[in-house]
Structure 1
């Protein structure tokens, strides 16, 4: 979640068009670090992308819009889960969001490091540099700490970087990737995968395929961050769902065509690695005699990663800061700098990200470590989404009279259908993430499952223990976190 989930804003009516909101959501969600993994599926990747868009992306967007407008107070998912099930589960949800991005940062930053490596003049030298562990580690740490420094400068600074960096580093490269893929085939380029309709239907009987397929759900994460703008659209009950439909179609189209471009240009045995996107650009540009453009695109991709990191450093840490001052973390974490950014929370997270990066980069099998950590991050985030869907459904019963400027269409039945579809899809994706992928060597399946479940259990247990040990003096009297609606003697769902 970005800062827009956390800090209420003064809204003027109809300040965003339907098309404008759709574009805002596409910029927020689309990232090019994921398609290389899914290129392994070839044409059948389109099925998984479309399935996840219908049963996950759209429900997330609509449900988050209702929750955001009904409970605009600070805290994001902390507020939603807390209103439904009690403060303990709200704290667990926001803690898991922080843990998820802490694990995710080194993974996406490795993509940035490899992109930076390909800004040199010699492709063969660049490829060797991208595989150097020390280079990757230094680049990961440099980009992350730079992002933290930018986020620490305040809302104006990080929103400016996020906006322009997203356009330069995500939208333009994505458009270039899709255009190159289409042009490559139309000009006689040889596809590296068979172009047969029967290959577009995935082999759903192969359970081991589901682990990589489940990660597609996380490619769509973040659409909820712009739900706060639902009231800025003219006639939101009609305009907002239309904007979400456009955004879902646009996002799915970019990711599908981008993934297929990689599959067309890069041999299947070379897909799946973080380098395959850059190899796609190298091969395609070489085909068209534009090899000079590769370093430019590589640098733009690194800028895009920086923009995304800045947003995710600022958003969840700001939410956790509000929660900390409400009495859920020791007073050490209450500090903010002159720009009102939670500097200590951000620094603690930076240290944790640095530690994860060191372990990740120097693992004997970086690809296996990448898979385990990405599945762990996805598992934690899916727990957050499960909590969000369950909260939305339960709050229709718990607080039926709460004003909801935007409602999921269809009344109570509509919430059960849309929220229920999102919950079931998230649960299936979570279960699928526990299946070891056959495409990547991860050693013993039992060891993979044990490590994944063990790490997830450890991370989930930590906030529950911390919540149980909270102290009354942890609450800041100046906290601007409003009490939950149920915090009355006769309306309390739980401790």
Structure 2
């Protein structure tokens, strides 16, 4: 035992010496404009467009209204992305909402965000995408019946572990996966669009006759429809999480936002038109895997190709989710809002591997009880609550700190409009028919402020955390990383 203790102390002294000499590491700026567009578009174009269309249609009630929802979701994502581009160039640090809330609303609100992000938002997003990936992977093996839940969740867990490993090992490999998967997604959507155009030319337009009949105009119905649609657009703020790894962010950030979101919005609208051309609204609403149903009707025996393509799309989206989500945890730890070990990067690979490992563990825990539709609703409710706070911070900076250098600026009316949309999206599901689950989510969000006081402000149990940090730092071969401004 004494030998073990002496070795541990010797390693601890080595660690202290290294830190005293400030031998810190920077994350590399390796993401160019192509990678930037790929990360935004690749993260957005994942499971949503292959899963959410039936939920949007079920909720809003008519094909015409569903297309309007999809268009409005794209507009909200574009305006939100442009507002975030100003924030990302005015505050050129990784971390997305966390760093913006920290700089504008203070440490308590920033911790409340990261507490919710780590435990609800990012695990829910990763889990929902992983479940979609798993459903499309196993669909060809259970043709005509619903696959077992256990099989789906095991495949989802496997995809989470694989991509977590990739992101821990190499930024370049993760970026390459994102670029390749985006190409697959675009090609898949082009196939669906071309197939829809052919069917339209042949006169299959019955779904568009009296296309607004049966529209649900209730506030809750509209809000939930937006939740499902905006789930498919989730990822429009991906680059703000990795600003320190983006080449020339003052130019590439807004440019990538405009290119990627315009591309995705156009593709989504055309894909939905194709779905409604090939399938009746009833068939679309009853489908558990829209792309597979479309493929079986249009491609016949080759319909399984759509299942593979949809799975690859979800795989790329999950990769982007891990890439960005680990960075938020990393930045929060660097600012003292999470354990120090999560603010470290691998000494050779220069990836935030401890933060990625932590995010993976939480995602696997959330996967155990999760189902897709509930995950989407709770994720969206929480996400838009913090989007509203972030946009309020942008308005504050514009009014109170006009002298702050801004390589890119948007008119103040844009954040005001997106803020109004965010407030509506938070309140809409609980206005018409309040559900107790949203109260639980709200209490969980607020509990972050309570946890902040003893564990972050007063730093309870520092000795135990220091020993654990030293052990994990040596075991994982990581060291503190500096900001890359």
TM-score tier, shorter chain, comes to: 0.7 to 0.9
In the alignment, the residues of structure 2 paired with residue 297 and residue 91 of structure 1 have an alpha-carbon distance, to the nearest angstrom, of 42
CA contact (8 A) 1:211 1:434 kept: no
Say if 2:226 is the partner of 1:224. Answer: no
Alpha-carbon distance in structure 1 between the residues aligned to 2:165 and 2:36: 29
Structure 1 segment 334-353 matched on structure 2, within 5 A: 334=343, 336-337=345-346, 338-353=348-363
Whether the 8 Å contact between 1:27 and 1:171 is mirrored in structure 2 is: no
- Cα deviation, residue 166, structure 1: 2.0
1:230 offset after TM fit, Å? 9.7
Q: Is contact 1:81–1:90 with CA below 8 Å preserved after alignment?
A: yes
Tell me the equivalent position of 1:277.
Answer: 291
Other-structure match for 1:492: none
One of 97, 101, 122 as aligned partner of 1:77: 97
1:210-266 deviations in whole A, cap 9, x for unaligned?
3223332333232233465795687x8xx957x755644432222122223323333
Partner residue, 1:126: 143
**CA-to-aligned-CA distance 1:14-61 (integer Å, 9 cap, x gap):** x859xx97777444423323333224341211211222333x222212
Q: What RMSD, in angstroms, separates the aligned Cα atoms of the two structures?
A: 3.4
Cross-structure match for 2:3:
none
The answer on whether the counterparts of 2:93 and 2:484 sit within 8 Å (CA) in structure 1 is: yes
The Cα shift of 1:159 comes to 0.9
User: What's the offset of the Cα at 1:7?
Assistant: 5.7
Counterpart of 1:187 in structure 2 is 202
Q: Please name the residue that 1:403 is paired with.
A: 405
**3-state secondary structure, aligned to 1:134:** helix
Relative to structure 1, is the Cα distance of residues 384 and 418 closer, same or farther in structure 2, using a 3 angstrom cutoff? same
CA contact (8 A) 1:150 1:157 kept: yes
Q: Conserved in 2, the CA contact under 8 Å of 1:321 and 1:345?
A: yes
1:340 aligned counterpart, secondary structure: coil
Q: 2:264 aligns with which of 244, 251, 256?
A: 251
1:375-419 C-alpha deviation (Å, 9 max, x unpaired)? 1001111122112211111112333211111111xxxxx21x100
| 2: CA distance, partners of 1:233 / 1:320 | 23
The one of 306, 322, 333 equivalent to 1:324 is 333
Query: Of 296, 303, 312, which residue of structure 1 is paired with 2:305?
Result: 296
Cα distance in structure 2, aligned partners of 1:196 and 1:90: 48
Q: 1:75-120 CA deviation, whole Å, 9 max, x = no partner?
A: 3322211111112222323333332120122222222112112345
Aligned with 1:112 (options 114, 133, 140): 133
Segments of 5+ residues of structure 2 without an aligned counterpart are 1-25, 470-478
Of the three residues 52, 57, 72, the one matched with 1:34 is 52
Compared CA separation, residues 82 and 326, structure 1 to 2 (3 A): closer
1:175 maps to 190
Structure 1: distance between partners of 2:70 and 2:350:
39
- Alignment-derived partner of residue 391 in structure 1: 393
Give the 3 Å change call, closer, same or farther, for CA 22–148 of structure 1 in structure 2. closer
The corresponding residue for 2:86 is: 66
2:424 is equivalent to residue 428 of structure 1:
yes
**TM-score of the pair, normalised by structure 2:** 0.78
The structure 2 residue matched to 1:453, chosen from 414, 433, 439, is 439
- What's the CA shift string for 1:305-333, capped at 9, x where partnerless? 11111221122212212321332223454
On the 8 A contact 2:90/2:404 being kept in 1, the answer is yes
1:141 offset after TM fit, Å? 0.9
Note if 1:309 corresponds to 2:324: no
Q: Is the Cα–Cα contact under 8 Å of residues 78 and 94 in structure 1 kept in the other structure?
A: yes
